[in-house]
């Protein structure tokens, strides 16, 4: 995941891992395909290959050994429709009961040829919705990547009609009606059960507002040459998916046989207030799970005994507090200052009374994670000019609302999260983690990582506090091993979501409160390492 060096296909990663990471835009895919065709690959040959792979996957999902399936094929005017027609032909030959629907009067030449051949095989073809046969599942080949205009009139009505059937739908490449890059719904869109993305991951499939339309997304790798990908994307792709392999590679494991606690990192957490004691506890429990060698937690004096009872192994630092129970000032142990720590995480449960504390840690030379009230205070101080003065690494972990307070002049993060987080990182020099169903992380060089898996179970108060502690603990350990900051942030986001997924599987989504989440962190990483 390093941005400093190119991905070396022949030595550092196998092909499958590389392909699973790369995320592209519609324009980039168009350019890559253009190189393939210019090199002599016939469009018809590539269509046959892609459709053959799709057919094989459909046979795995809906095997005739278990049932006789009736399949409806939705065909668009372009090559996505051509892919669908080849799939229709192959399924027909394999014994599936197939019918085809295409409402378009004009098809691309190759697609029209496949339409004509399907009719010659006796496959029923329809141009209107009236009297369409029933089916067990649908294959969506209406529109592929690159759609930009809103769908209206008859085609929009047809898509809504098929969604209302409530049959499983397999979309080829991207659900018809989604913008390839932003994931925006262009008027209406197919609600897919499965999306079989072709060749390389399309950015829109990893945007939050596309997720209810994408279903389970899988990549169909049709052997795009590396030279063509690298010619368009360069040595270092600018947008990547976080994968299991890359996330695990950045964990500070294994430890050397001879070591001690301070070689495993020393983290300072500054969090909590009398009003929000839980934030301090959850952040500290997240840090504990990271495996950090030494954990110090600065809280108001009135919370010290509570924290000690939950984390007897940690050094709990009771600080003078305001009348309302916020930290008044840091009061670190004798012979200790902020430079004594490898990393600092600050914010959960602080309240905005802690502004002097946040200002103090921002002025330090330590790697710093800011979350919750740490972010709200930073926004009041002036996000960009304040962070531009920092010499050490900074990680910001906002949700969408906090992001807008931090960066009011950046385009709406709800519309295009990738561009928003990239702009924020470029303007501040910080690593910015924008929370969401598909968490996006950017560094100042414009490289973006997207966490491709999560669960709605994490949409509960305190989940973000756990992430802050986990991330802080990993960064403290990374400081002793000189691991890139961006890699550690991506690993923390992945680990946090995997714990949520595991907890939801065992307890249901409603059963994953933040305390439960902390109890699954170690189980999640242990299972993934097996």
pLDDT band at 411 (very low <50, low <70, confident <90, very high): confident
The response to whether 245 counts as a known ligand-binding position is no
Tell whether 464 is in a known binding site.
yes
Let me know if residue 14 belongs to a domain.
Answer: no
Least confident of 209-218, 473-482, 496-505: 473-482
Q: Is 176 annotated as a binding residue?
A: yes
- Ramachandran angles phi, psi of 169, nearest 5°: -125, 130
CATH of the domain at 299: 3.40.1190.20
pLDDT value of position 153: 92
Does residue 380 share a domain with residue 288?
yes
Residue 81 is labelled as binding a ligand: yes
Determine the average pLDDT of the residues in 347-361.
Answer: 97
Q: Are 172 and 84 in contact (CB under 8 A)?
A: yes
Which token pair is 181? 């890059």
How confident is the model over 426-452, as a mean pLDDT?
Answer: 97
What pLDDT, in 10s, does the model give residues 270-298?
999 999 999 999 999 999 999 999 999 99
For residue 16, pLDDT over 90 is answered with no
Answer yes or no: is 153 within a domain.
yes
Report whether 465 belongs to an annotated binding site. yes
| Average of per-residue pLDDT across 14-27 | 91
Say yes or no: 428 and 509 in one domain. yes
6 known member of a binding site: no
Task: Using the predicted structure, report yes or no on whether residue 387 has a pLDDT greater than 60.
Answer: yes
10 belongs to a structural domain: no
Measured between alpha carbons, how far is 319 from 168 in angstroms, rounded to an integer?
58
Q: Which residue has the higher pLDDT, 251 or 311?
A: 311
Q: Indicate the burial class of 374 (C-beta count within 10 angstroms; 0-12, 13-18, 19 or more).
A: buried
User: What value, to the nearest 5°, has the Cα angle with vertex 528 and ends 526 and 530?
Assistant: 75
Asked if 190 and 265 sit in the same domain, the reply is no
At residue 11 the predicted structure's pLDDT band, cuts being 50, 70 and 90, is: very low
Q: pLDDT value at position 13? A: 53
Domain containing 525 equals 245-253+261-529
Residue 234's contacts (CB-CB under 8 Å, 6 or more residues apart) are 6
Is 82 known as a binding-site position? yes
Average pLDDT over residues 392-407: 97
**Co-location of 85 and 225 in the same domain:** yes
Cα dist. 136→27, 118, 173, 216 in Å?
A: 35, 20, 21, 18
In a domain, 11, yes or no: no
Say how far apart CA 4 and CA 47 lie, in whole Å: 37
Instruction: Say whether both 383 and 492 belong to one domain.
Output: yes
Q: Which tens digit of pLDDT belongs to each residue from 486-528?
A: 999 999 999 999 999 999 999 999 999 999 999 999 999 888 8
Domain total in the chain? 2
Q: How confident is the model at residue 15 (pLDDT cuts 50, 70, 90)?
A: confident
User: Domain check: are 105 and 220 in the same one?
Assistant: yes
Which helix (H) or strand (E) covers residue 395, if one does?
A: strand 394-396
What CATH number should be reported for the domain holding residue 204? Answer: 3.40.50.10260
Q: Is residue 1 in some structural domain?
A: no
What was the pLDDT predicted at 457?
96
Percent of the chain with pLDDT over 70: 98
pLDDT higher at 513 or 415: 513
Residue 4 has pLDDT above 50, yes or no: no
Does 455 count as an annotated binding residue? no
pLDDT at site 47: 98
Same domain, 373 and 468: yes
Per-residue confidence band for 255, with pLDDT thresholds at 50, 70 and 90: confident
Give the mean model confidence (pLDDT) for residues 409-419: 84
500 marked among binding-site residues: no
Q: Is 462 annotated as a binding residue?
A: no
Structure confidence by residue, pLDDT tens digits, 230-250: 999 987 889 999 999 999 999
| 513 known ligand binder | no
What tokens does 488 get? Answer: 């550690």
249 shares its domain with 228: no
84 and 205 share one domain: yes
Residue 80 is assigned to a ligand binding site:
yes
Phi, psi of 362, deg, nearest 5: -65, -35
The answer on 164 and 33 residing in a single domain is: yes
Instruction: State yes or no: pLDDT of 12 exceeds 50.
Output: no
CA distance 243 to 496: 13
pLDDT above 70 for 329:
yes
pLDDT digits (tens, 9 = 90+) for 102-134: 999 899 999 999 999 999 999 999 999 998 999
Question: Residue 140, annotated ligand binder?
Answer: yes
Is 436 marked as binding a ligand?
yes
Give 260-270 pLDDT, tens digit per residue. Answer: 787 789 999 99
Residue 340 pLDDT > 50: yes
In a domain, 293, yes or no: yes
More confident residue, 53 or 18: 53
Q: Is the pLDDT assigned to residue 5 strictly greater than 70?
A: no
pLDDT of residue 412 exceeding 90, the answer is no
The per-residue pLDDT of the chain, averaged, comes to: 94
Q: With 0.85 as the threshold, say if the pTM is over it.
A: yes
Can you give the pLDDT at residue 7?
47
Percent of the chain with pLDDT over 90: 88
Residues 138 and 187 in one domain: yes
Residue with more model confidence, 343 or 67? 343
Peptide linkage before 184 cis (omega within 30 of 0): no
Determine whether the annotation assigns residue 405 to a binding site: no
* 145 annotated among ligand-binding-site residues: yes
149 is in an annotated binding site: yes
Tell me if 349 is assigned to a ligand binding site.
yes
Residue 107 lies in a domain: yes
Q: Is 399 annotated as a binding residue?
A: yes
| Per-residue pLDDT tens digits for 145-204 | 999 999 999 999 999 999 999 999 999 999 999 999 999 999 999 999 999 999 999 999
Could you tell me if 227 and 277 lie in one domain?
Answer: no
């Amino acid at each position: 995941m390093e941005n400093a060096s190119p991905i070396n296909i022949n030595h550092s990663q196998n092909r499958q891992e590389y392909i699973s990471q790369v995320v592209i835009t519609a324009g980039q895919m168009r350019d890559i395909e253009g190189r393939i065709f210019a090199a002599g690959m016939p469009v018809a040959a590539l269509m046959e290959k892609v459709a053959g792979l799709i057919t094989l996957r459909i046979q795995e999902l809906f095997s005739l050994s278990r049932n006789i399936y009736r399949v409806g094929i939705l065909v668009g005017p372009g090559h996505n429709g051509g892919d669908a027609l080849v799939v229709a032909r192959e399924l027909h030959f394999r014994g599936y009961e197939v019918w085809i629907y295409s409402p378009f009067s004009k098809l691309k030449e190759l697609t029209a040829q496949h339409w004509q051949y399907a009719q010659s095989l006796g496959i029923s073809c329809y141009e209107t919705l009236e009297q369409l046969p029933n089916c067990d599942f649908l294959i969506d080949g209406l529109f592929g990547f690159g759609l930009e205009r809103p769908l209206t009139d008859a085609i929009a009505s047809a898509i809504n009609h098929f969604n209302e059937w409530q049959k499983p739908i397999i979309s080829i490449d991207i659900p018809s009606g989604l913008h390839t890059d932003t994931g925006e719904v262009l008027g209406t869109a197919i609600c897919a059960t499965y999306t079989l993305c072709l060749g390389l991951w399309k950015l829109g499939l990893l945007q939050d507002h596309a997720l209810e339309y994408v279903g389970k997304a899988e990549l169909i790798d049709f052997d795009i040459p590396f030279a063509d990908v690298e010619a368009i994307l360069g040595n270092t792709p600018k947008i990547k998916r976080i994968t299991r392999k890359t996330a695990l590679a950045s964990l500070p494991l294994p430890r050397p046989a001879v070591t001690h606690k301070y070689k495993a990192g020393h983290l300072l957490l500054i969090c909590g207030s009398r009003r929000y004691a839980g934030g301090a506890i959850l952040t500290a429990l997240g840090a504990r799970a990271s495996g950090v060698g030494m954990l110090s937690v600065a809280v108001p004096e009135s919370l010290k005994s509570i924290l000690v009872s939950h984390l007897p192994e940690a050094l709990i630092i009771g600080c003078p507090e305001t009348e309302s129970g916020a930290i008044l000032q840091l009061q670190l142990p004798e012979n200790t200052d902020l430079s004594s720590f490898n990393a600092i995480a600050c914010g959960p449960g602080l309240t905005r009374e802690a502004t002097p504390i946040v200002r103090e840690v921002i002025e330090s030379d330590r790697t710093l994670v800011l979350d919750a009230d740490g972010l709200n205070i930073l926004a009041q101080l002036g996000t960009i000019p304040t962070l531009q003065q920092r010499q050490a690494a900074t990680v910001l972990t906002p949700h969408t609302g906090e992001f807008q307070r931090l960066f009011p002049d950046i385009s709406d993060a709800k519309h295009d999260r990738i561009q928003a987080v990239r702009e924020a990182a470029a303007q501040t020099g910080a690593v910015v983690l924008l929370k969401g169903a598909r968490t996006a992380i950017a560094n100042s060089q414009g490289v973006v990582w997207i966490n491709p898996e999560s669960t709605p179970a994490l949409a509960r108060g305190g989940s973000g506090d756990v992430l802050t502690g986990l991330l802080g603990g990993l960064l403290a350990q990374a400081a002793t091993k000189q691991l890139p900051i961006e890699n550690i942030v991506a690993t923390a986001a992945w680990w946090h979501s995997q714990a949520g997924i595991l907890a939801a599987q065992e307890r249901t989504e409603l059963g994953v409160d933040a305390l439960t989440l902390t109890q699954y962190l170690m189980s999640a990483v242990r299972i993934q390492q097996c």
